[in-house]
A = this chain, B = another copy of it.
Amino acid sequence: MDFSIRAANVDDCKDIARMLMELAEYEKVTDKVKISQKDLEQDGFSKNPFFHGIVAEVPEQHKTKEGHTKIGYALYFYSYSSWVGRAIYMEDLYVMPEFRGKGIGKALMSKVAQLGLAAGCRQLNFTVVDWNKSSLDFYFSQGCFDFTDKMGYHVMHCEGEELERLAQP
């Protein structure tokens, strides 16, 4: 199947918000998603954006029955490792179920890797849930390694009231 991958622009936020929620449904975490199309527009497409995105599109003849031609996306931002320096972080990688198995996810991830290398990054980072075996297998097949298992690294979060309290001097 033909598909193309290009940089996301502000007009893609409606589709990204839709797919972001599809991904959350797949992960059974829709109750945790607090962001909207408007947040994506403001946070990704204003001055000093907090993230960047790419979208995968199929031609009109392959559109879904709901009429969607934007059928996959990745969000990423530049980050830093105090070991290897410049790094790129892939926050989301998603392809709609009916378009999986056609190399679109690989192409999206490859594009993120290209963008990272072009910016001088020496590492691509992301997180994955341990129950998502098909994704884990895919990532391992691409030469990725699990720092949680290998080095004992754990992902920590602080948010809400705890974050407010932490910010008190």
Q: Within residues 51 to 107 of chain A, which ones have a CB less than 8 A from any CB in chain B?
A: 51, 75, 77-87, 89, 91-92, 107
The reply to whether B107 and A78 form a contact with Cβ atoms under 8 Å apart is no
Which of B82, B107, B125, B166 meets A157, CB within 8 Å?
Answer: B125
Interface size on A, residues (CB 8 A): 74
Query: A164 contacts which chain B residues (CB < 8 A)?
Result: 117
CA of A157 to CA of B89 in the docked complex: distance in angstroms? Answer: 9
The copy count of this chain in the complex is 2
Contacting residues, chain B, for A51 (C-beta < 8 A): 79-80
**A163 interface neighbour in B32, B116, B130, Cβ under 8 Å:** B116
CB-CB under 8 A from A163, the residues of chain B are 113, 116-117, 122-124, 143
Q: Are A148 and B155 in contact (CB under 8 A)?
A: yes
Residues on B with C-beta less than 8 A from A81 are: 91
Looking at the complex, which one of B124, B131, B154, B167 makes contact with A159 (CB distance below 8 Å)? Answer: B124
Nearest CB of B to A137, in Å:
12
Inter-subunit contact B166/A153 (CB<8 Å)? no
Besides A50-B85, A127-B147, 11 new A-B residue pairs in contact (Cβ under 8 A), listed by A number? A20-B82, A32-B83, A34-B84, A50-B78, A107-B169, A110-B167, A114-B167, A129-B152, A129-B153, A144-B162, A146-B154
Sample 5 A-B pairs with CB under 8 A, ordered by A number.
A124-B166, A125-B156, A125-B158, A127-B147, A142-B165
